Amino acid sequence: MTGNERDVRQAHGGSVTDPAWEDVLRAGMESDPESGASGSVEPELAVARLLLHAGAPAELGEARRDAVWREIDGALTPIPWWRRRAWVWGAPALAAASAVVLVVMLQPGRPPPTSPLAAAPGQAIAVQLEGQFAMLAPAARADVARSVDTSRGSMRGTLLAMAQDAETIGGAP
Amino acid sequence: MTSGARTLASPATARWLTLALGFVLGGGSMLVGLAQAGRLAAARPEALVALAQMVEVEHRRVDLLLERGDEAGAIAALEALRRQPWPAREDGGDIGEQLRHDVYGRLVRLRLDFPDIDPVGDDALLQIIDQGLSGSYREVETNPFTARLVALRGEALEGRGRDDEALGAYEEALGMNRALLDRELLDRELGEAP
């Protein structure tokens, strides 16, 4: 170490990690040509920068180091199934499809098929039966009327017979 | 001469006339017998005749009331008729039963169609129907009036939520009507046969 360099170090009391140190070193070389030094200090400065660069990991801040480790942990730790990308995008689509299927199957607004008459509505059967009655009733009424006429004839015959008996009995000597 | 010829011709003519009359009476008796087959005849024909006349008059009155839009009057008239004493099946025969089923059926139809007029509960309506059918309706010769009352029983049961029983009543009524339609078709085929 030359006396000039020692002066520079003493003047600034700084370490080589200080970027201003390079400027001070260059200024010292230019102001003291008699020291026998010639050429440039750039190669030395490059070596110093390399050493500084090599020592940079040791100078990482706590926050930066924690961030790096978090990234490493994240890359190494397996992702839980519920946080995987397929689920993030697939779950809403699956829920929507399920809702559509439910709506199609349940059909809100239509009464649930709770009775055997739901398949063949009782109202339709009742209407059909009323239609059959309307078709069959006239002939049945005519049949009833004929039967009543027969009974009327039978009743008339009975009454006549009773009257004849009474006449015979009344006219008997 | 003329008188003698008449005297000679008369026995033969009389014989033919007697034979023809026998055929007519026999045929008529056979038709009446076929019509009455399986049907209980009225033991008291006068009761049946009186009942039929009363029912016919009331039906016409109800027709007029309905034509005027007086459903309440029609229901009241049929209710009054329903409360009349009805002859037993032995007295009025199957025809008497059919007349009763017809009246009850018409009343229940109106009550189901106009539930707000003189309303009765579902249970009371079922009681009316069961009273009309009287439990022995299956013994009565199959007829449309009984089938209709059974079908109306199905409607009343369905209104009460007793769907299984309602379905049974509907099926029974449909079976009766099917039998009646088959009989009607058979009668038509026999009537059209040469």
How far does the CA of residue B41 sit from the closest CA of chain A (Å)? 9
- Section B88-112 average pLDDT: 94
Quick one: pLDDT at residue B180?
94
Query: Nearest-CA neighbor of B163 among A114, A158, A108, A78?
Result: A114
CB contact under 8 A, A125 and B45: no
| pTM greater than 0.80 (yes/no) | no
pLDDT in tens, A101-138: 888 887 766 665 555 555 556 678 999 999 999 999 99
At B137-165, the pLDDT tens digits run: 999 999 999 999 999 999 999 988 999 99
CA distance B101 to B106: 8
Q: What is the mean pLDDT of residues A132-149?
A: 92
Which of A132, A145, A154 shows the shortest C-beta gap to B45? A154
> Amino acid identity, residue B60?
R
Shortest CA distance to A146 belongs to which of B118, B43, B34, B112? B34
Say if residues A144 and B48 touch (Cβ distance below 8 Å): no
Whether B86 shows a pLDDT value over 50: the answer reads yes
- Alpha carbons within 13 angstroms on the beta-carbon side of residue A164 total 6
Give CA separation, A12 vs A19, A21, A137, in Å. 12, 8, 128
- Work out the minimum CA distance from B37 to partner chain A, whole angstroms: 12
pLDDT tier for residue A3 given thresholds of 50, 70 and 90? low
* CB contact at 8 A, B123 and B129: no
Average pLDDT, chain B: 86
Closest partner residue to A122 (CB to CB) among B36, B166, B174 is: B166
Percent of chain B with pLDDT over 90: 63
All residues of chain A having their beta carbon less than 8 Å from the beta carbon of residue B32 are 150
